[in-house]
Structure 1
Amino acid sequence: MVQFVKEIQGELENVYVGQMCLSWEILHWQYEKAIELLESDVYGSRRYNEVAGEFQQFQVLLQRFLENEPFEEPRVQHYIKRRCVLRNLLQIPVIREDGNKDKKNGRRRDYEENNDGVIKSDQLVEIMEETIRLFWRFVRCDKLTISIHDQKSRTKSQIEPDHEEDSEDLEMFAEVKSQLQNKEKRLRDVLKSERCIIRRFQKHKEEDSTEDQVLHFFSQVDMKLVTRVLNMSKLTRDHLVWCHNKLTKINFVNRRLHLDPSFCLFPC
Structure 2
Amino acid sequence: MNNFVENYKLYIEGIVFLIMGFTAVSAIVKIVSRILPKKFSDTRKLIITKIIKYTLNLFVIFVALNIMGVNLKVLLGAAGILSVAIGFASQTSASNLISGLFIWSERPFKVGDSIIVGDTTGDVLSVDLLSTKLRTFDNLMIRIPNETLMKSQITNISYFDIRRVDLKIPLSFSEDLKRVEKLLNDVVDKNLLCLDEPKPLFIVQGFFDFSINIQFSFWVRKENYLKTKNKIQIDILNKFREEGINHPYPKRIIQTEEGRA
Tell me the TM-score range normalised by the shorter chain.
Answer: under 0.3
User: RCO (CA 8 Å, sep 6+): is it higher in 1 or 2?
Assistant: 1
What TM-score do the two structures reach when normalised by structure 1? 0.23
- Which protein is bigger by CA-based radius of gyration? 2
